[in-house]
Amino acid sequence: MEKKTKLSWSKRRTLARTYLTFRSVSLNLLGMDLVPENPPPVQPAAQPVPPRLPPDPPSRLGQRKKWWEKILAVLGAVGAAIAKFFAQIKLLILPLLKFGLPILKTGGTMLLSMWVYAQMWGWWFAAGFVILIFVHECGHLIAAKIFGLKVSAPMFIPFLGALILLKESPRNAWVEAWVGIAGPILGSLGALVCEMIYLTTGDPMYRALAYTGFFINLFNLAPVGQLDGGRVVTALSPWLWVAGYVIMGIFAINHLSLILILIMATGLPRLFSLFRAKTDEQKRYFEVTAAQRFIMAGMYFGLIALLLVGMELTFIPRN
Ligand SMILES: [Zn+2]
């Protein structure tokens, strides 16, 4: 009995610690990770090739002119060779820029995030944490690719998690819900793998990672603002947004979470638009069949339930 009381106290301490971590770091982790990108800037039209200089008029100083012409011809040939060289380089460099830069950007921002988190939790945990976020983002990426949506490579922002930019909006609420839920689904599987590693190696760090992963993905399923949950329940019922705002609102006020309040505030326009009278086109966007709604609701509430169970099972009381 006494032991149980002790455990419960330590559990409380851990909860307090978890909450602190939650507040200082994770609150809007992956928070706004599916951000619609500003319309891409209009590419300036290709520079017209400057017209060639008109040939010099026949010169009265015949011999001297020919000498200049020779030099010009050599210079022209050299210039043409250089231009050709750069044109070929461009052919090589452009694909490199196109595919290399996003990788560099993702990798670089990933490393930066890892460094920041490592200062708090040590390198191994930080690496696992950032990889878990990356797996979550990959879920969104894969779903977006399957539905043929253009998205950016993930970018990591220390303290904020990561985000990918949607370069075009989803066709309808069903597609949006899928892109939204795919992140938490894959992210939760990633956390499950951490728990499996714990069960085989016995290294408690992996269990801590699993717990953190379950928590991040659960948090992102909250039906508010730009969080993944907000996108998912758009296909279910706007009233879930209201429920989400009530629950998260109470939480945000209780814990004076500025970040959560910000997430909710930025989501308000969407909340109102869900209840406003819709145009025919908007109505078509929100058309979801009963079967689709059933599937999405099953995945959404099922995943929430599984994550709660996962968090309960992987909870490590500190002594
Ligand atoms: Zn997400």
Q: What is the mean pLDDT of residues 245-263?
A: 82
Q: How far, in Å, from the CA of 306 to the mean position of ligand 1?
A: 17
Q: How far, in Å, from the CA of 30 to the mean position of ligand 1?
A: 6
- 218 in Cβ contact with 311 (< 8 Å): yes
Q: For the chain, how far is it from start to end, CA to CA, in angstroms?
A: 17
Q: How far, in Å, from the CA of 281 to the mean position of ligand 1?
A: 27
Determine whether 158 is exposed, middle or buried from the number of CB atoms within 10 Å of its CB (0-12, 13-18, 19+): middle
Q: How far, in Å, from the CA of 60 to the mean position of ligand 1?
A: 76
pLDDT attached to residue 18: 47
Token pair of 150, please? 């253009």
Q: How far, in Å, from the CA of 134 to the mean position of ligand 1?
A: 10
Is the pLDDT at 66 greater than 50? The verdict is yes
User: What residues does 151 pair with on adjacent strands?
Assistant: 166
Q: How far, in Å, from the CA of 289 to the mean position of ligand 1?
A: 24
More confident residue, 9 or 139: 139
Q: How far apart are CA 153 and CA 22, in angstroms?
A: 26
Q: What is the pLDDT of residues 124-158, one digit of tens each?
A: 888 899 999 999 999 999 999 999 998 888 888 77
Q: What is the pLDDT of residues 105-117, one digit of tens each?
A: 777 777 777 777 7
The size of the chain, in residues, is 319
Q: What is the pLDDT of residues 219-234, one digit of tens each?
A: 899 988 788 998 898 8
Q: How far, in Å, from the CA of 156 to the mean position of ligand 1?
A: 12
Please give the biggest Cα pair distance in the chain: 115
Sheet-wide strand order for 34-36: 34-36, 161-166, 155-157
Average pLDDT in the chain: 78
Q: How far, in Å, from the CA of 54 to the mean position of ligand 1?
A: 60
Q: How far, in Å, from the CA of 180 to the mean position of ligand 1?
A: 6
Q: How far, in Å, from the CA of 169 to the mean position of ligand 1?
A: 16
